[in-house]
Amino acid sequence: MHSEDIRKSFLNYFKSKEHKVCKSDYLVPPSDPTLLFTTAGMVQFKPLWAGAKLDFARATSVQKCLRAGGKGSDLENVGKTLRHHTFFEMLGNFSFGDYFKKEAITWGWEFVSDVIKMDTSKIYVTVYKDDDEAASIWNKEIGIPEKRISRLGDKDNFWGPAGDEGACGPCSELLYDLGEEYSCGRADCKPGCDCERYLEFWNLVFPQYYQKKDGTRDPLQRRGIDTGLGLERLTFLLQNDAENNYETDLFKPIIEELENICETKRSDEKRHYYHIIADHMRALTFTISENILPSNEGRGYVLRRILRRAFRAGRKLDLNKPFLYKLVPIVGEIMKSRYPEIVGSREFVSKVILGEEERFEITLNNGYNMLLEDIENTSGNVFSGETIFKLYDTYGMPVDIIKDEVDEKGLVFDEKGFNLYMEQQKEKGKKSWKGADIKTSNIFSEISAKSGSTIFSGYDKNSVDSKIIALVKNSSLTNEVKEGVDAEIILNETCFYAESGGQSGDTGVIKTSTGEAKILDTVKDVNGIVIHHTKILQGKILIDQDAKIVLDIKRRKEIAKHHTATHLLQAGLRDVLGGHVKQSGSYVGSDRLRFDFSHFKALTKNEIEDVEKLVNDMINDAMEVNKYNTTYDKAVEDGVTAIFGEKYGDNVKVVDAGGKSRELCGGAHVENTSFIGGFKIMSESSVSSGIRRIEAVCGRSLYDNYSKTNNVLREILVLLKTSENEVIERVEKLLGKVKSLEKQIEKGTNLNDTLKEFEEKKDNIDDINILIRKYQSIPGNSLRAISDELKSGTKNGIFCLISTESDNKASIVLSCTKNVSSTRFHCGKLLSGLAKEYGGGGGGRPDMAQAGASKKIDLDNVMMKIKVRLAQK
RNA sequence: GGGGGAUUAGCUCAGUUGGGAGAGCGUUUGGCUGGCAGCCAAAAGGUCACCGGUUCGAACCCGGUAUCCUCCA
């Protein structure tokens, strides 16, 4: 059975049981910051068990998942076992407060035995240790013999939550006995054993608790069902000629392509390197095509580690140059029927991977050179743990490479010391992890569980009459808040837009019969409740009160202008740069906008001007901006730009500006592009490799900016007595003039005069000439240059050069020829004392010293001090 | 989220009690030259990442920010 047929038959089966077929969510869950990646099919449904608004009570999906980095990472297992993957697909069926254990088990069994016709005699099941109900359904109703039902503990049969909080509960798993030859051979090998023999392929979870961040559990508002059937494992079980997951149609072509590249067939002792590379390539292709890029932090860093692991596996296959990028097309071939989007981004993905491979080569080389140097500098015969740790921790040098090199040079590798440093590092990491705002998050989860998500009516209203359903002060619930305090207010309905998709939260005021508060910001909780951050201005505000809230409409209008402009900007960028431009983050405020997008080079001046012109044309064309609802599939079919996943297929909002820009977007927009008023790019810069950032302004902010810079320009024109057309030329000329004057001073154009004067004065003691000279406002550099020139023009002399400013501040350079400084004179010592006298300080070497002063300097006094010092010797 | 490291000329990097911003490569110009990275000479090129502090004086010391590298979670 082909893997795609397996996906289809699963979805069709549960569709026939009245499940809604849902699209796979993104690998980065759009609205769940507690999760690094989507790790299971249930992730996109988490709020539905907790009580969010329900459009359907049964769902089924094929979900792309990534388990690497953070909690529940399988990164290290890939290559070691045949069943773990970083990237994989999960088939699932879900119930939200609808059916429960009985139907889940019955349908699960019907699917494996009747639909895909597995050999049921090899199937074992496990249940949670005290879950008699599940055990009895398996035994009595399905007819699985007691001896093939195992009861296991928390580790195996209690699942969840995904992330820091969410639904969880006991579970029941289906296992397939692969037979003796897959066994670890231990006498006690049985279902639940870590080895490969009893392969878990389907986990039926019975969520009935809500686990909070602090680890405590409440009963779930809607208990239900959450199952996960691993596509890779099932495909292996159904493809008879496959010995393991990697020999199925999902992986085999990648491995064969890899064999072509390294020109070596997979062999038993090196097979796991092929597995690592094939697995990681799928993960990389999918994540990067979702615009997650390798970087030095967060999700991006997980990607970087995956890539490096694959790259190093390549070295074991004698692939020492970048090669991973060559595997992108084959992954696309295998997956394109279900995920057509990855074909479109193929070139971008290859480019990113190649760039990252090249960078890793540099890191390895640098580390290697440092390693050789450290080995060189080792005095004893032990290569210390501290040094190993430094190379690994700071410079990313893989430990096994260090060990190989150290062994080869005949030194002792201090593993114990290294481990000690590692322990400390881990300890530090653990300590710092605590202190997240656990309490607050819990409160909002509780509120949302009780009252569901907030009704939003801000698309057509600027004010609403609503009711206060919760008040939070200092992270705890309260019934009343008084004048002067900060509080979070939750209403049953709001017209305030909560910060989302880059758009800033709204501000405004809230009034009740007893008081008034200012709404400073509006944000949304994971579970869909809208939180108004407020400061109470007057009186008091009570729970359950009726309240009227009014938007700061002026501000909102400016936000809408910047938001629509952001869409036009994206359209313009695609036009000028090409279709590879994809949004990878944005900020929309009332005074500016910021737009990050994928593109490889800096934009040229021309490109920026072209984009600007296109956007302004769209504004000047006064295009209608239409907003309408449609289904996700219809929107995609129509070619609408989709960036952040609308969660459930139906009912997405499209914003269409005159047909030139069409995007899925739930934010605030103007009715006509002409309202934007105008658009100006203020800066273009790089955020990370492959991502550029544009900052721009429009509306009132554009005028403010224009007015400010124009005023500055006018002042400059007046100062330089020139016109707008000539100002640049004039400034260039001035700069040139300044430069040549500075040079003249440095070279000491007046040197000859000075020297002459110096000779004439002959103010000397023991044939040592002394010169003191005062200048007006010349830089310290020039003083030094002049003194150098003077020194080279004589054999026996002391020079004191002073430059004064109008406010009596002065800088002083005192220098003397070598023969003087080496026998009887120390410029530094003399000058530091002298400078103190004039309200400054200073010092320097015997032959040259510098100082500053803040009082008027008496030149005769200076001369006397120098002479006194000379006379002392 | 926490640690370690980095940021100096177009590129690769030196630069210690805090007191004259450097080298190599590259670029331009002139001269020499029958080659392999030709040779010689000269010149141009710097916000020492940014902001603040200490100091008479900061590339250097202190604090903060940004970006990059790297490890831990």
Task: Specify the nucleotide whose C1' lies closest to residue A787 (CA).
Answer: B20
Residue A755 has pLDDT above 70, yes or no: no
DSSP assignment letter at A855? S
A430 touches strand B (CB under 7 A): yes
Mean pLDDT, range A439-456, rounded to an integer: 74
Question: Which residues, 6+ apart, have CB-to-CB distance to A20 below 8 Å?
Answer: A56, A58, A59, A60, A649
Closest nucleotide over all strands to A788 (CA to C1')? B20
Name the residue closest to the C1' of B4 by its CA: A394
Is strand B in 7 Å reach of the CB of A390? Answer: yes
Is A855 near strand B, with its CB below 7 A from some atom of it? no
Long-range contacts of A578-584 (CB under 8 A, 24+ apart): A579/A344, A580/A345, A580/A347, A580/A348, A582/A291, A582/A345, A582/A643, A583/A291, A583/A643, A584/A291, A584/A293, A584/A691
Integer Rg of chain A from CA: 37
**Interval A183-199 mean pLDDT:** 90
**Do residues A619 and A568 make contact, with C-beta atoms less than 8 angstroms apart?**
yes
A388 in contact with nucleic chain B (CB within 7 A)? no
Residue that wins the pLDDT comparison between A605 and A649: A605
What are the φ/ψ torsions at residue A279 (nearest 5 degrees)?
-60, -50
pLDDT of residue A438: 43
Cβ(A201)–Cβ(A174) below 8 Å: yes
Average pLDDT over residues A461-481: 90
Q: Could you give the CA distance from residue A695 to residue A684 in angstroms, rounded to a whole number?
A: 7
Residue with smallest Cα–C1' gap to B17: A844
CA-to-CA dists, residue A798 to A536, A810, A867, angstroms: 73, 19, 10
Residue A531, pLDDT > 70, answer: yes
Q: What is the pLDDT of residue A705?
A: 83
pLDDT score for A649: 55
pLDDT for the residue A753: 60
Type and span of the H or E element at A823: helix A818-823
Say if pTM beats, i.e. exceeds, 0.95.
no
Query: CA A362 → C1' B12, Å?
Result: 13
Residues belonging to chain A: 873
Summarize the confidence of residues A807-819 as an average pLDDT. 81
Instruction: Look at A498 and A873; give whichever has higher pLDDT.
Output: A498
ipTM: 0.84
Give chain A residues 1-60 with Cβ within 7 A of strand B.
none
* Residue burial A682-717, b: 16+ Cβ < 10 Å; e: rest: eebeeeeebbbbbebbbbebbeebeeeeeeeeeeee
Non-local CB neighbours of A188 within 8 Å, separated by 6+ positions: none
Average pLDDT over residues A728-744: 72
* Residue A748 pLDDT greater than 60, yes or no: no
Mean pLDDT across A264-280? 94
Residues 806-825 of A with CB under 7 A from strand B: 811
Q: Using the CB atom, is residue A429 less than 7 Å from strand B? A: yes
Which positions 275-314 on chain A have a beta carbon less than 7 angstroms from any atom of strand B? 295-298, 301, 304-305, 308
A792 C-beta less than 7 Å away from strand B: no
What is residue A439's predicted lDDT score, i.e. its pLDDT? 47
Bases of chain B below 7 A from a protein C-beta are 1-5, 13, 19-21, 45, 55-57, 67-73
Alpha-carbon gap, residue A148 to A122, rounded angstroms: 9
> ω into residue A161 within 30 of 0, thus cis?
yes
Question: What tens digit of pLDDT does each residue of A711-733 get?
Answer: 878 888 888 888 888 887 787 77
C1’ B25 / CA A351, Å: 29
Residues 57-76 of A with CB under 7 A from strand B: 69
Q: Is the CB of A687 under 7 A from strand B?
A: yes
State whether the beta carbon of A439 lies below 7 angstroms from any atom of strand B: no
Nucleotide closest to residue A298 (CA–C1'): B1
CA distances from A39 to A42, A222, A230, A308 (A): 8, 22, 12, 21
Work out if A332's Cβ lies within 7 angstroms of strand B. Answer: no
Distance CA A90, CA A58 (A): 17
pLDDT value at residue A646: 47
DSSP per-residue codes, A130-153: T-HHHHHIIIIII---GGGEEEE-
Calculate the angstrom distance between C1' of B52 and CA of A187: 70
Nucleotide nearest to A835 (CA to C1'): B56
Largest CA distance in chain A: 122
What pLDDT, on a 0 to 100 scale, did the predictor assign at position A433? 56
The better pLDDT of the pair A768, A91 is held by A91
> Which of A419-423, A606-610, A739-743 is the least confident region?
A739-743
Confidence of residue A325 (pLDDT cuts 50, 70, 90): very high
% residues pLDDT > 70 (chain A):
92
How far CA A588 is from CA of A345, A591, A614, A705, A813, in Å, comes to 26, 8, 20, 17, 55
Q: What is the mean pLDDT of residues A679-708?
A: 82
Q: Please, what's the b/e burial string for A636-660 (b: 16 or more CB within 10 A of its CB; e: otherwise)?
A: beeebbbbbbbbbbeebbbbbbbeb
Task: Give the model's pLDDT for residue A691.
Answer: 75
pLDDT band at A436 (very low <50, low <70, confident <90, very high): very low
Q: What is the DSSP string of A595-642?
A: EEEE-SSPPPHHHHHHHHHHHHHHHHTT-BEEEEEE-HHHHHHTT-B-
What whole-number distance in Å separates Cα of residue A631 and Cα of residue A664? 10
Residue A324 pLDDT class (50, 70, 90 cuts): very high
pLDDT value of position A797:
81
Nucleotide B12 C1' to residue A404 CA (A): 28
Residues A198-221, mean pLDDT to the nearest whole number: 87
Residue A444's pLDDT is 79
A688 touches strand B (CB under 7 A): yes
What's the pLDDT score for residue A756?
62
Q: Closest CA to B69 C1' — which residue? A: A395
**What is the pLDDT at residue A435?**
42
pLDDT of A267:
92
Distance from CA(A851) to C1'(B55), angstroms, rounded: 11
Cβ–Cβ < 8 Å for A492, A467: yes
Scanning every strand, the nucleotide with its C1' closest to A366's CA turns out to be B69
Q: What is the pLDDT of residues A114-142, one digit of tens each?
A: 999 999 999 999 999 999 999 999 999 99
User: For the ranges A302-316, A348-362, A789-803, A825-839, which has the lowest average pLDDT?
Assistant: A789-803
Q: Which protein residue has its CA closest to C1' of B19?
A: A844
Q: Residue A36, CA: closest nucleotide via C1'? A: B73
Determine if strand B comes within 7 Å of the CB of A587: no
Q: Which nucleotide is nearest to A428 (CA to C1')?
A: B2
Residue A626 pLDDT greater than 90, yes or no? yes
CA A176 → CA A8, A125, A152, A733, A752, distances in Å?
22, 9, 16, 83, 100
Question: Count of CB atoms within 10 A of residue A385's CB?
Answer: 18
Nucleotide with C1' nearest the A360 CA = B69
Q: Has residue A395 got a pLDDT over 50?
A: yes
Q: What is the dihedral of CA A84, A246, A286, A323, to 10 degrees?
A: 120
Protein-to-nucleotide distance from the CA of A97 to the C1' of B8, whole angstroms: 65
> Does A710 have pLDDT greater than 50?
yes
Nearest nucleotide to A433 (CA to C1') is B1
Distance (Å, rounded) from C-alpha A785 to C-alpha A745?
8
pLDDT, averaged across chain A: 86
Lowest mean pLDDT among A101-110, A240-249, A351-360: A351-360
Phi then psi for residue A791, to 5 deg, are: -60, -40
